[in-house]
Amino acid sequence: MPSVCFYFEVHQPMRLNRFSVFHIGKNIHPMNYFNQTLNKNIFEKVANKCYLPTNNLLLKLIDQYKGEFKVSFSLTGTFVEYCQQYMPSLIESFQQLFSTGSVDLIEETYFHSLASLYDELDEFEEQVLMHREMIKQLFNYRPMVFRNTEAIYDNRIARKVADMGYKGIITEGTEKILGWKSPNYLYKPINANIKVLLRNYTLSDDIGFRFSAQGWVGFPLTADKYAKWMANTPGDIINLFMDYETFGEHHWPETGIFDFLEHLPEEVFKHENLEFITVSEAVKRYEPVGEIDVPWAISWADEQRDVSTWLGNEMQHACFRELQDIGKKLKEKGDRDLLNIWRKLQTSDHLYYISTKGFEDGAVHQYFSPYDDPYDGFINYMNILQDFKQQLIQ
């Protein structure tokens, strides 16, 4: 019977202050690159609209269904730092969820960065180990499943993650790598001993993107309708991976998103062929049905489902090259405080805001961006990178 695997990404970026060319070289402290007021306000707003009420609802559902309702989370290091600074009770809420035994945790890069795309993977490994240490300290747990930033994946990354000891890795179930095959099974890379869990992007996006779209043919999406769709889906496992902000932030409470989530377990359990499972349980239970070969990077982002979301134009490439160049100089300098700043500047969101894609993808990028347009984001980000670069040689 197909297992339903709910996984949520919990992430908040550290948005930047406005930084003009006239600020470069003025000995501004690098911590002032970040807009603390804006970041605090957005974090607290989303915490109250999404994180806290959804955590409370999940806790209620886990208790109501005696642990048979299960979910998995990845908490980025930047998100956790916000919690520690502004709302420690939110971390306690996740700890309470984890203590039920029905919640699993997933590893990723601490800074939600694109370090896996660097020429060398040393920085990637360091950030993953930082995340591992954070999860150990907060939850006394060692995740066995890895999910790279925005589900970025290729053969090289799969091999590295397998070498680091993980048993499973999460990515997008796109036709680019599957062809005619179904995402509702586990696979293995051609070059590594690790199991690959593939996101069912149609069913995931039915909740994550289309839930409140009144022009969508599936509107309104009710819990019983969705459960029937899953019950009629062939395969071993249905991976439903989405942003946690889906609940209460991307879809506001008045859309009925919380009612949908509250009634979903009841409707799922009406079907004898459905159950909930965590990512670790999936990796333990199921064996790969075949191999996948991914020589170029894919992700769960945008229609193209590749890395053009962050590296799709020359502005993004220029910033990415500067990041790598700064990193090489920083590693030689050995300044831990500046290294931390550089890593915060690596967060993938900074390059996401510089995307010049149009149509639906462009609209989504603009929704999340604090800038008027991508060019404004590029100038601001590049000015900061140039100032930071100058500070390294002082």
- Write the CB contacts of 119 (distance below 8 Å, at least 6 apart in sequence): 324
**Cα–Cα distance for residue pair 18/220, rounded to 1 Å:** 41
**Cα–Cα distance for residue pair 167/27, rounded to 1 Å:** 46
- Are 166 and 145 in contact by the 8 Å Cβ rule? The answer is yes
**Cα–Cα distance for residue pair 143/107, rounded to 1 Å:** 6
**Cα–Cα distance for residue pair 371/376, rounded to 1 Å:** 6
- Are 375 and 315 in contact by the 8 Å Cβ rule? The answer is yes
Q: How far lies 155's CA from each of 160, 297, 311, in Å?
A: 9, 8, 19
**Cα–Cα distance for residue pair 272/274, rounded to 1 Å:** 6
Kindly state the helix (H) or strand (E) to which residue 243 belongs, with its residue range. strand 237-243
**Closest Cα to residue 196, out of 181, 211, 209, 207?**
181
Q: Indicate if 314 belongs to the active site.
A: no
- Are 23 and 383 in contact by the 8 Å Cβ rule? The answer is yes
Residue 198 has phi, psi (to 5 degrees) of -110, 130
For the chain, first and last CA: distance in Å? 63
Kindly state the helix (H) or strand (E) to which residue 83 belongs, with its residue range. helix 77-86
- Write the CB contacts of 333 (distance below 8 Å, at least 6 apart in sequence): 392
How many helices (DSSP H) and strands (DSSP E) are in the chain?
Answer: 17, 10
Annotated catalytic residue, options 9, 108, 123, 150: 150
Cis preceding-peptide flag for 253 (omega within 30 of 0): no
How does DSSP classify residue 17?
Answer: P
Q: How far lies 192's CA from each of 131, 153, 290, 293, 355, in Å?
A: 22, 13, 13, 11, 32
Kindly state the helix (H) or strand (E) to which residue 239 belongs, with its residue range. strand 237-243
The residues that are catalytic are 150
